[in-house]
Structure 1
């Protein structure tokens, strides 16, 4: 068997200052072998916790949980059971839903210097690469599963990834292990099961070393992808506005088409989004980036929308506006939340709205209905807000969300941008100004977190 050198594996974990060692334990043969291997070393055993995930999809799940707990009790290993909701959402396969739910449950367990072990082996890698190939994936998909990766605050490791299924079976039988056989593994309407049960046995009759050769190809793809990631990261740095994660369109257009595609994909990764399809990347370039300056195209995916304003490409998370409402801003409250991810704050300043006026006024917040204007300090006449927004480069979708702040029914300020001349003070008295806080970890709204 190409097996784990247990002594080398244990020494690596001990020398790496591993704190807690978690094993995703389903009770099947693969995870049972991995559990047994690690429990065989006393240095690792005291760090081990086996985690059973109950997906709630099969009636046998509770019995399987009890079996797993019994195995752990016999081995003297800590056991943890977690229930998840693995119901597939629209556009999500049952396998993907279960995997996502499982990972979301496991991720919070890991602290710094903790490791999660998964029992995927060489044939799992073979199946993954072939399925990605059939789906038309690029290098990233054809790289298969990495042996290790960051996960939560710790690390995810697949120590059996180069071990064959036959070697795992041999180990289980030699050590008289008892494992669970999941009947759903025979349901060939699942793509992976169809490939595993019906296709791969035929392929291996012709190419017995298929798992090794495909794994080698996956590593070549992974190395190539690493080089591309470095290149595309450098390209993105030259195009992105780091303060708000928007893209400069004129710089983007300076690059050839293939490099533009790389930049868009790297941008998605930078934003924490799933990799877009080739078709969607091209739609972004054709319908948004290449649109006329006066056009207002919008594309949506993964709950975000992509649109341009002037020379900038935005990724936006739609939020629930409270348009039409008149909000009361109590004068003794420093903060006012406008929508879920936007808050305005009153802060002390050497110039701005007189603090005394603010404290003694009835403060209301309204939203633009059209035709509003404001008189500004050091500028003659009243200025339509539409013109001011254009001058300041405020994107069209942000204008309707920007609060108009009234003191005793007179417009005193427009968001964080302008203060009316009537309320603006330069005297040596306490003054206030308004700043905006934006919380949006993935997309952006075209403005810094605090303006």
Structure 2
């Protein structure tokens, strides 16, 4: 069963790659994505290639254009490019799955970022232990492991890895959390990694229940949703159904303000002539007869 590890050359992915190769000798390959976003990127790729050659691990690399478009988040553009390339490399390597090296500290940072945005349960659930992207299964086996423990192990084993200089650039919010906020949390709540990660798991479990309820409601109301059917549900279940419908059918979300406006419009939709046409996520929701439709462009 061939397995792959997303390997950047950094501490976390180096530890994961060595652990996986020890557990499954000869069945693990390394997938490296060169984002070409900094001068050192080619050096990172060379280090990764040489490290794998020294340890007898199959190495696959792809260079991508991860530059962001005007108005697009640089982090989001890089993330999309990375997962697209990893999926392609995994399929080429016939890997049954890809292991990612995000750990407990990364999960805490993700949860804190979600809290700062006022996120709902999907955001508070943070990073899922497993998920599917582009037909490939991804797994995060280190979500319960502290970053410090990973580095302690690498030092003990005298293993070389790359220190990415962008990880200390506090212009990025995640890096500011890591450098300034986590040390304070460590001092005040020494067990915060365990408890925060546990809270993220609770949020994920609750979200699974809400998703199951939304699926049942969507089957009852219709897909696309019938307005009369929506009006028979409590407002909270309408919102839950509509958010699920947007994610599942249109791969998008809506802000809290947009959702509240849509729910108000549905509540007021008591006559055939009532018109609904409002911004919802990156597109528009519109009434068409007795159903609610969504378009990514105004119609």
TM-score using structure 2 length: 0.92
- For the residues of structure 1 that align with 2:140 and 2:212, how far apart are their CA atoms? 24
Q: Distance in 1 between matches of 2:293 and 2:118?
A: 28
Q: Does 1:156 align with 2:156?
A: no
- What residue in structure 2 maps to residue 104 of structure 1? 84
CA-CA distance at 1:91 after TM superposition: 4.3
- The question of whether the paired residues in 2 share the 8 Å contact of 1:110 and 1:153 is answered with no
Stretches of structure 2 that go unaligned for 5 or more consecutive residues are: none
Q: Larger Cα Rg: Structure 1 or Structure 2?
A: 1
Instruction: Decide whether the 8 Å contact of 2:84 with 2:134 is kept in 1.
Output: no
How do residues 264-413 of structure 1 correspond to structure 2 at under 5 angstroms? 264-287=242-265, 290-291=268-269, 293-301=272-280, 303-318=282-297
Aligned to 1:214: 196
Higher relative contact order (CA 8 A, sep 6+): 2
Say which SS state the counterpart of residue 42 (structure 2) adopts.
helix
Q: What is the distance in 2 between the residues matched to 1:316 and 1:73?
A: 50
Please tell me the root mean square deviation across aligned C-alpha atoms, in Å.
Answer: 2.0
CA distance in 2, matches of 1:249, 1:204: 50
Per-residue displacement from partner, 1:168-221 (whole Å, max 9, x unpaired)?
Answer: 011101111111111111111111000001111112111111101111111111
Q: 1:60 Cα deviation (Å)?
A: 0.6
Cα shift readout 1:295-322 (whole Å, capped 9, x = no counterpart):
5443345553321122111123549xxx
C-alpha distance in 2 between matches for 1:62 and 1:108? 20
Match of 1:47 in 2: 27
Contact 2:3 2:95 in 1 (8 A): no
> Which of 247, 251, 256 in structure 1 is aligned with 2:234?
256
Instruction: State the TM-score, normalizing by the size of structure 1.
Output: 0.62
Q: Given the alignment, which residue of 186, 196, 210 partners 1:204?
A: 186
Equivalent of 2:114 in 126, 132, 137: 132
Residues 437-448 of structure 1: matches in 2 within 5 Å?
A: none
CA contact (8 A) 1:249 1:289 kept: no
Pick closer, same or farther for the CA change 1:34–1:113 going to 2, 3 Å.
Answer: closer
Q: Which runs of 5+ in 1 are unaligned?
A: 1-18, 320-396, 398-451
- Whether the 8 Å CA contact 2:16–2:101 is kept in 1: the answer is yes
| In structure 1, distance between residues paired with 2:180 and 2:109 | 12
More strand by share: 1
| Structure-to-structure mapping, 1:64-83, within 5 angstroms | 64-83=44-63
Shift of 1:272: 4.0
Q: Which runs of 4+ in 1 moved over 6 A?
A: none
Secondary structure class of the residue paired with 2:286: strand
